Amino acid sequence: MWEHQYIDRLRVTDVLVVLAAVGIAQIVRFGELESSGMAAFFGYSGLSVALIVLWVGFLAIFRTRSPRVIGTGEEEYRRIVSATFRLFGVIAILSLLFRVDIARLYLAIALPVGLVGLLLSRWLWRKNVSVKRSKGGYKTSVLIVGSRAAAVSMARQFERSPSAGYAVVGMCLPGYSAADDAAVTIDGFEIPVLGDEHCVVDAIEASGADTVAVTATEHLGTAGIRKMIWDLEKKNVDLVVAPGVVDVAGPRLVMRPVAGFPLIHVEKPQYNGATRFSKTAFDMVFAATVLLLISPILLVVAAAIKLTSRGPVFYLSERMGIDAKPFSMIKFRSMVVDADAQVSNLLAQNESAGGVLFKIRDDPRVTKVGKIMRKFSIDELPQFINVLKREMSVVGPRPPLRREVETYDGEVRRRLLVKPGITGLWQVSGRSDLSWEETVRLDLSYVENWSMVGDILIIAKTVRAVAGSDGAY
């Protein structure tokens, strides 16, 4: 399987990155590597060797190269960050307990250089995997077992997410008979139906699947799943079971055996307490830094707007924030002055599916400068001021209009549990090309599964999406 070669390559690059980070730290701190021999062993060269061994060991202990997480993004990065910080935490505790004086600059250089290097190398490997998968390689062949509706839903999600690397090669549907259709068509792809839930072993032989995905398990029962596990063990085929919980990320799913049953506990979303404080602190520091760095750009854009069209530089749009509290979102004006008054005349041209959002690809109200700003999302840069005013977050759900909030049902209103963001999953997953339903699903997924690592990944993806002007108009 491709995973074994991929893991071997990760292991090599991890060792090289750690070696480079520790070597750079020692050279910068002490000027040159110490000479070999007993003195070097008890000096910082010996410490460097020990640090390298421990660091590589912690990466293995925390399963950063597990086939279950490689190429998945957030969880892979989270394990690397966790392993690294726990290692340096252990070093700090041991040095305090045993009163070992370790040069702080040495550790202060090794930690960020190594962590950034590890994350960058994994990101580059992920890009390589994405390229391979786009060409049909690095795929995991999956046989889906479950009711027709559940199996079709799972197969559709796999087909629409090629980066996940799952290729559905067959289905086993309970109650299937020879008189039924021999294949299921999903988005133009035909997936063969290879029998019912009792034909899994034969279906594996026929399809060459290396993973069985079980969904809607009520037809199998406890005994049926147990027998399937035993059968798959003999064939060295992986088994994954969909718990039926939608859009809930792994960190919130905790497996706990209760009375002999492996129960999945779904932890509550992290909206309050220390998590909210850490998110606010990150927002304030990030927004202040960005505004300082882009201040020359803001001045140039403001001058361009003022010189090319009549009206103010900024446009204040009422949006609904956390707990449906209204606030004025600040943007560079990209439309003519009376743009809002023209909405009623343009409703017939609305291109948004569902009609809740208002989008027109070639909006006649947009100015020439506005088109350039919108293409690269420059008009949204003043929203960092809203972040400093604690009305918005750097990452969060899309800031909704009052008329949109008035249409929300009980489920959609959960978007208002957190501050709206300048960017979010909606921004890096299609932007204006998304339907209303897709936007809601992404926003709810963000609210339910927020994490700091996830925010950082979204920010990085946003830079790429904006640079490519994907889905912007």
pLDDT (tens digit, 9 = 90+) per residue, 261-293?
A: 667 766 666 656 567 788 889 999 999 999 999
List Cβ<8 Å contacts ≥24 apart for 157-160: 159/186, 159/187, 159/189, 160/187
Residue 35, pLDDT > 60, answer no
Which are the contacts of 252, defined by CB distance < 8 A and separation ≥ 6?
A: 266, 267, 269, 448, 449
Q: Where are the domains of the chain?
A: 2-134, 140-242, 273-467
Distance CA 354, CA 361 (A): 16
Mode of pairing for the β-strands spanning 326-332 and 314-320? antiparallel
Burial class (CB in 10 A: 0-12, 13-18, 19+), 350: middle
| Residue range 140-242 in CATH 3.60.15.10 | no
Distance CA 80, CA 86 (A): 10
Distance CA 470, CA 429 (A): 9
CA distances from 30 to 40, 43, 278, 401 (A): 13, 11, 35, 58
CA angle 448-451-452, nearest 5°? 155
Distance CA 71, CA 9 (A): 13
Site of tokens 């997936």: 191
The string of DSSP codes covering 134-157 is HTT-S-EEEEEES-HHHHHHHHHH
109-127 b/e (C-beta count within 10 Å ≥ 16 → b):
bbbebbbebbbebbeebbe
Work out the pLDDT band at 450, boundaries 50, 70, 90: confident
Picking from 424, 411, 422, the residue whose alpha carbon sits closest to that of residue 450 is 424
pLDDT at 431: 56
pLDDT at 15: 96
Contact predicate 286/388, CB 8 Å: no
DSSP tag of 269: P
Residue 167, pLDDT > 60, answer yes
Average pLDDT over residues 236-245: 79
Contact predicate 165/133, CB 8 Å: yes
E strand or H helix at 351, and its extent?
none
What does the pLDDT look like over 168-227, one tens digit per residue?
A: 999 999 888 877 778 888 877 889 999 888 889 899 999 989 899 988 777 777 778 888
pLDDT at 38: 44
Distance CA 341, CA 365 (A): 11
pLDDT at 409: 73
pLDDT at 468: 64
What is the model's pTM? 0.63
Could you give the maximum distance between any two Cα atoms of the chain, in Å?
Answer: 84
Average pLDDT over residues 238-251: 70
Picking from 21, 33, 39, the residue whose alpha carbon sits closest to that of residue 88 is 21
Indicate the SS3 state at residue 314: strand
More confident of the two residues 327 and 426: 327
Distance CA 357, CA 407 (A): 11
Distance CA 462, CA 470 (A): 10
Distance CA 123, CA 70 (A): 10
Work out the pLDDT band at 33, boundaries 50, 70, 90: very low
Mean pLDDT rounded to a whole number for the chain: 82
